[in-house]
A and B are shown apart, each in its own frame.
Chain A
Amino acid sequence: GAGVSQTPSNKVTEKGKYVELRCDPISGHTALYWYRQSLGQGPEFLIYFQGTGAADDSGLPNDRFFAVRPEGSVSTLKIQRTERGDSAVYLCASSPQAGMGQYFGPGTRLTVL
């Protein structure tokens, strides 16, 4: 079956602009996660959805970051007033349940100029 997909693959934007990153999880996976990966580092947790609701958003760095999952499937990560420090690879993962592991998409590389 289809894996986790993310669009766009790459996004270049200017400082101060607004961006949206999209994640389409594996069908039937109720849990969806967003991570951010900086160069040379492991992924860092941003936010986790169980169904439509954000079960844990403690990893969001500040109020410029927001994510939604209105119908319990596709999720959008939104970043307002982007800063150069937001440049990273944003990874999305989905999971049917905790112990089965999380399945990752290919990521979106965000570059803020």
Chain B
Amino acid sequence: AQTVTQSQPEMSVQEAETVTLSCTYDTSENNYYLFWYKQPPSRQMILVIRQEAYKQQNATENRFSVNFQKAAKSFSLKISDSQLGDTAMYFCAFISNSGNTPLVFGKGTRLSVIA
């Protein structure tokens, strides 16, 4: 079974600074997808970024980028130029490429952006 581990329960960053959230996972599969979701206090889960395991290039979405290290099974999220609106819970998630299977989530990291 796949597992996802987020080892940082809470983090904080000054506005306009850069922060990196860590995620590791365990799987025996070779083809899969990884995601970062953001959950603000409104509790709406918002897809931030996705990475396909067979692509070596790290995904980037505006201020959000990932560092995907497949051999190390590591998938960290970097947020550049942090904004107050980035304050939220961030969840790392894994999904197999074997079909429409459920996401496996980590326990999340609570990020606070400080003015």
Contacts and interface: CB of A to CB of B under 8 A. Distances in A.
A62 interface: no
Interface in A26-78: 30-31, 33, 35, 40-45, 48, 50, 55-56, 59
Contact of A43 (B35, B96, B105): B105
Contact of B99 (A91, A98, A102, A106): A98
Contacts of B91: 42-43
Contacts of B107: 40-42
B100 interface: yes
B30 interface: no
Contacts of A42: 4, 91, 93, 105-108
Interface residues of A, number: 31
Contacts of A103: 47
Contacts, number: 72
B102 A45 contact: yes
A56 B101 contact: yes
- Size category of the binding interface on chain B: 20 to 34
Contact of A89 (B37, B43, B103, B104): B43
A99 B97 contact: yes
Nearest to A89: B43
Contact of A107 (B43, B97, B102): B43
A113 B35 CA distance: 35
A100 B108 CA distance: 21
B111 to A, nearest CB: 14
Contacts of B105: 42-44
B42 interface: yes
Contacts of A44: 105
Interface in A69-109: 89, 91, 93, 95, 97-107, 109
B45 interface: yes
A91 B2 CA distance: 21
Given A41-B107, A101-B50, A106-B44, A56 B102 contact: yes
Given A98-B96, A99-B97, 8 more contacts: A35-B103, A42-B91, A42-B106, A42-B108, A43-B103, A45-B103, A93-B103, A104-B45
